[in-house]
Amino acid sequence: MNKQDAHARAESLLKQMTVEEKIAQMTQISYAGCTREEALMWAERGAGSFLHVLGDDAREIQQTALHTRLGIPVLFGIDAVHGHCLNRDAAIFPSQLSMACSFNPELPKKIGRATAEEVAEDGLHWTFAPVLCLARDPRWGRVDETFGEDPYLAGEMGAAMIRGFQGDQLDDPESILACAKHYIAYGEAVGARDACDTEVTMRKVREVFLPPFRKAMEADCATVMTAYGSLDGTPLTLHEEVLKRVLRDELGFKGFVVTDWDNVNSLITNQHVCADMEDASVKAAQAGNDMMMRTKEFYEAAVAACKDGRLSMEQVDTAVMHILTVKAELGLLDYPEKPCRKGRIGCEEHRALALDAAREGLVLLRNNGMLPLKGAKKIAVIGPNADDIRAQYGDWTYFTHPMNNPDETEPQRPYTTVLEGMGNVFTDAEIVYHKGCDVMNRTPSDLEGAVAAAKGCDAIVLVLGDTIQQAGETHDRADLSLTGDQDALFRKLRALGIPMTVVLMSSKPLCIPAEAAEADALVVAFNGGMAGGQAIAELLAGKIAPVGRLPISFPVHTGQIPVYYNSLTGWHGGKYEDQPAEPLFAFGEGLGYTTFAYSDLAFDPETLQLTVTVTNTGDVEGTETVQAYLRDVVSSVMTPVKKFVAFTKVTLNAGESKTVSLPLSRESFSLINAKEQQVVEPGEFLLMAGHSSKDADLLTLSVQMA
């Protein structure tokens, strides 16, 4: 249904609603947080939405809602963030961080679409994804949920994913609502302490954190989630400037805003800015939150506040209109059970997509010629993450979510670990496996056993990383070194002198200077989903070529953080006495099985097209991610040393050259000035294009902009 008709439909419903029915629409109930009887009571009251409920339980709630006076259907939300992963039959795709390594927006778009089909088949309507936070401090627990550190890349990938979830038409039977979260600057909390205060100015918010949300609005994202945390002491839940002025007036957002989990209550219990529930409910609603996640106490408090005049009916009507208009646009008011296809959950097509995605998410960072691994007769596969599907999946699957009681949940097939993938792919070799140690020393290590297993092998594949206990909400880390005996395991195996590839299977960058310097090859795999192990084995065998690039910089040492590439300059070298200024690996880095050379960088000031010639200088075909950066030479406020502004991929045969175009826009040249205005300041700009964000990898051209 188009926006105009949806608005009219919502208006006619609003006119018939009582205060209680309106406030109920603004209340989202956690199914896990109540008994079945309570859930049905909330449906009878007309609760606008439930989260974390599947299958028949959801159907029963919907039937109850449909039999109420106005029969407004319930909107069901779920965290389907890398697939419909809380359903154990679903296709489990790589994490957003892994998807971002592809630098291929088509990928999150396809994954978004596949996820939407699976969520819709389960009778649900709304995913709390994508995450548009930036991961500029890798100590943060939720790095895996992001598209990395860069605003431009996160915006491109996020907008594509939203288009996948929402399809061409929201009322298509297999479209679901997307949710741009967490609004805003959530990942920048001090000390990477989840949900703490963010000490950045509004200018910085606009410059760094807003662009991905702007892209989300351009993609017509239907909902936005208010972050936990606060901005310079004002809880985001109460931040009228960001929730109303910026989001609605400037970005033109027309959908509805949902708080994060129990944000209204947190105003009292965690943030201490409200005295009681009525106070918190009034302020959260007035600030621009339309729906309150999980805080059911909001209902009575807000009804009372409406009756005594503390909460204005105008504000309530605005919120309810936002919610009902989205429900109408989704087609929910006409088809509470949309006629979507069956058999899409975990189907073959989605599993094939999961494998493609895992392949594109792998980043080769070192290779002294060991890879591709040819002719090995006996391969040792060692390490705690070589055969651990939980670590491979990462956060937000049925293992980690309370909805499924993680302790009692067993992994469900199909999936392929690295060990299994190696067996599938290296059919002519003998594969020897030893775990060596745990990631967190939960069981005794057996380093000597691992060494004994590896002796006599032609190659070692050592799979290190982190576990699901070290990722996610409330799992921030103060130290990003490898934990347990993983470093010791690496050193003992290295001492054997057998060619060794280290695979880092982790939720985020870890500090691995020794492995980076001493291993013969290093592959970063992040959380690759159900086919992650298969993709890794294929890459090691040379059945696929590595195409991934880093969407996030790797620190040498935790104390060196932050190391994101788009920093502002200082004049004392930016290094510590005891640590270098440079990261271990920079944004955009990643090798292939061939090499590329760049030449002839040119810019057309009329069309704003940057062009560069790329030549495959190796002897096999390969795909290069051509990256463009920009620097404003003199600006009224300090601007980053470089800013990522465009990228494209090109596949070239050995020896082949092609000239590729990188379209820039006026916006690429803009900055946020001291008055918080987005402007282009005329003058000189340096345009750069090449293989990664490192100076040595870039050609540079000076241009003038009027």
Q: Which residues bind ligand BGC (CB under 6 A)?
A: 79, 128, 181, 260-261, 473
Q: How far apart are the first and last CA of the chain?
A: 43
Q: Is 249 a catalytic residue?
A: no
Helices (H), 485-586: 486-494, 513-518, 532-541
Q: Nearer Cβ to ligand BGC, position 79 or 632?
A: 79
- CA 662 to each of CA 551, 567, 645, 665: distance values in angstroms, whole numbers, following the listed order: 18, 23, 9, 10
Least distance from C-beta 57 to ligand BGC, angstroms? 16
Cα dihedral across residues 406, 409, 414, 417: positive or negative = positive
Which amino acid makes up residue 345?
I
Which amino acid makes up residue 120?
A
Least distance from C-beta 128 to ligand BGC, angstroms? 3
- Cα–Cα–Cα angle for 401, 403, 406, rounded to 5 degrees: 50
Least distance from C-beta 261 to ligand BGC, angstroms? 4
Q: Nearer Cβ to ligand BGC, position 162 or 591?
A: 162
* Helix/strand/coil percentages in the chain, nearest 5: 35, 20, 45
Q: Which two tokens stand for residue 264?
A: 């209204």
Q: Nearer Cβ to ligand BGC, position 92 or 462?
A: 92
C-alpha to C-alpha distance for 205 and 456, rounded to whole angstroms = 56
Least distance from C-beta 331 to ligand BGC, angstroms? 23
Q: Nearer Cβ to ligand BGC, position 260 or 297?
A: 260
**544 three-class SS:** coil
Comparing every residue's Cβ against ligand BGC, the nearest one is 128
Q: Nearer Cβ to ligand BGC, position 125 or 691?
A: 125
C-alpha to C-alpha distance for 277 and 267, rounded to whole angstroms = 9
Which residue, 323, 191, 186, is CA-closest to 242?
186
Which residue, 508, 548, 528, 553, is CA-closest to 647?
548
Least distance from C-beta 610 to ligand BGC, angstroms? 37
Least distance from C-beta 403 to ligand BGC, angstroms? 9
C-alpha to C-alpha distance for 433 and 418, rounded to whole angstroms = 11
Cα dihedral across residues 62, 65, 70, 72: positive or negative = negative
Q: Nearer Cβ to ligand BGC, position 88 or 631?
A: 88
Least distance from C-beta 131 to ligand BGC, angstroms? 7
Partners of 503 in the β-ladder: 463, 523
C-alpha to C-alpha distance for 571 and 579, rounded to whole angstroms = 17
- Cα–Cα–Cα angle for 414, 415, 417, rounded to 5 degrees: 150
Q: Which two tokens stand for residue 267?
A: 């105003």
- CA 42 to each of CA 19, 274, 466: distance values in angstroms, whole numbers, following the listed order: 15, 26, 40
Q: Nearer Cβ to ligand BGC, position 265 or 385?
A: 265
Q: Nearer Cβ to ligand BGC, position 247 or 382?
A: 247
Least distance from C-beta 260 to ligand BGC, angstroms? 5
Q: Using the 8-state DSSP alphabet, how is residue 209 labeled?
A: I
497 φ, ψ (degrees, to nearest 5): 75, 10
Least distance from C-beta 48 to ligand BGC, angstroms? 15
Largest CA distance in the chain: 81
Q: Nearer Cβ to ligand BGC, position 32 or 70?
A: 32
Q: Nearer Cβ to ligand BGC, position 128 or 256?
A: 128
Least distance from C-beta 179 to ligand BGC, angstroms? 7
Distance, C-alpha 231 to centroid of its chain: 21
Q: Which two tokens stand for residue 294?
A: 């999980």
Q: Nearer Cβ to ligand BGC, position 258 or 457?
A: 258
Least distance from C-beta 186 to ligand BGC, angstroms? 8
Which residue, 255, 254, 182, is CA-closest to 212?
182
Which residue, 472, 613, 572, is CA-closest to 141?
472
C-alpha to C-alpha distance for 359 and 531, rounded to whole angstroms = 9
Strand arrangement, sheet containing 27-30: 126-127, 75-78, 49-51, 27-30, 292-293
C-alpha to C-alpha distance for 100 and 150, rounded to whole angstroms = 10
Q: Which two tokens stand for residue 440?
A: 């967190």
Q: Which of 79, 150, 197, 260 is catalytic?
A: 260
Catalytic residue numbers, as ranges: 260
